[in-house]
Structure 1
Amino acid sequence: MGRGIVFAGCLVVAMLACLGGTAAATEYVVGDTRGWTVPPNITAAYYVECAAGKTFKGGDTLKFVWNGTHNVANVSKEEYDSCTKVSSVFQGGDPFAFTLPADANGLYYFICTVDSHCENGQKLAITAISPTPTESPNSSASWTAGAGALSMLVLLSSSIVSMLMN
């Protein structure tokens, strides 16, 4: 009977693991080791190069880390292109974390509105992609998989109780 309980416990843990299914969110430090600052050689390509090769998804976090006087504003494409000094900057200091909405899909633009920092290249544009159905906790595919795993867990639990009663 002792081995049966251990076996049943292992099966329950395995079934609970199957109920997961959402991919873990990733935290990205904007600007990598340099952080959020006016890029060297006044090049707008610096943050483009830092973001290249990264896949941004809903739930991911962009961490803006800086020294000195900077801020972060999430802006429209037009404001990004023209480095418009918007008044709605994120407060909260260094570091500042921006988490992409769970349903993020499309372009997101960020600038520093201090002095001429944006004009000197302190701006970031990223493309976020929709999570796949197995990654999205609200998708019907994920719900179906979760419901199936839950049904199996209920069936397994009743089997374990029946086994222990005998």
Structure 2
Amino acid sequence: MANLRMFLVFELLMLISTEVWCYQYKVGDLDAWGIPSSANSEVYAKWSKYHNIKIGDSLLFLYPPSQDSVIQVTEESYKSCNLKDPILYMNNGNSLFNITSYGEFYFTSGVAGHCEKKQKLHISVLGGNGTATATAPSYSPTALPEFAPSYPTVFGTIPVSPSSSSSPTLPFPTLVLGFIIVSALQL
């Protein structure tokens, strides 16, 4: 009977530890979404290279709503800084973009002149074969599919990318839950 209990506890811990982790990335990390300084003019190009964005993650753009906005644009509009006919327009100062598909995503400020000053972001969400296997769909906020992930917009710590270490570790809450379950089974 004790072996069965230990097996069940082990199975429960394995089930819990295989949960999917999604991250909310604050675009630019400590800097708000805005025109890059001359000392750090490539902040958004560098930022996108150091983050491994995947489906389920979200991008948080923080900025003063009376002074800026974020638009999602096509690759051509991104390259030419064309602000007409954006795919998506966000202007509340606390804009959250959920990644729901593989592909290339292009963002820029919706304020004239900001894109030319390098306030723009390009991210690639790669498929299992290492390529952006599909073009990002043109969703409006009200036309998202039912399965699109939704995350609360919160201010807090900036999530850190998962470790590239190959040794798996159990998250702290899983360890605590496992301890509670084992203790309860011993009663």
Q: Do both share a fold (TM > 0.5)?
A: yes
Deviation of the 1:17 alpha carbon: 3.6
Contact 1:58 1:131 in 2 (8 A): no
Deviation of the 1:13 alpha carbon: 4.5
Rounded to whole Å, the distance in 1 between the matches of 2:40 and 2:107 is 16
Pairing partner for 1:69 from 60, 67, 70: 67
Pairing partner for 2:84 from 61, 83, 86: 86
Corresponding residue of 1:152: none
Give the share of equivalent positions with the same residue, in percent.
26
Pairing partner for 2:24 from 27, 33, 45: 27
Q: Point out which structure has higher relative CO (alpha carbons under 8 A, 6+ apart).
A: 1
Contact 2:69 2:91 in 1 (8 A): no
**Within 5 A, what are the aligned runs for 1:121-160?**
121-130=118-127
Contact 1:64 1:94 in 2 (8 A): yes
Contact 1:39 1:120 in 2 (8 A): yes
Q: Which has the larger radius of gyration?
A: 1
Number of equivalenced pairs: 126
Gapped regions of structure 1 (runs ≥ 5): 133-166
Contact 1:76 1:109 in 2 (8 A): yes
The reply to whether residue 15 of structure 1 matches residue 14 of structure 2 is: no
Aligned-CA RMSD value: 2.7
Pairing partner for 1:106 from 95, 103, 115: 103
Residues 72-115 of structure 1: CA deviation (Å, up to 9, x unaligned): 111111010011113444336121111111xx333211111212
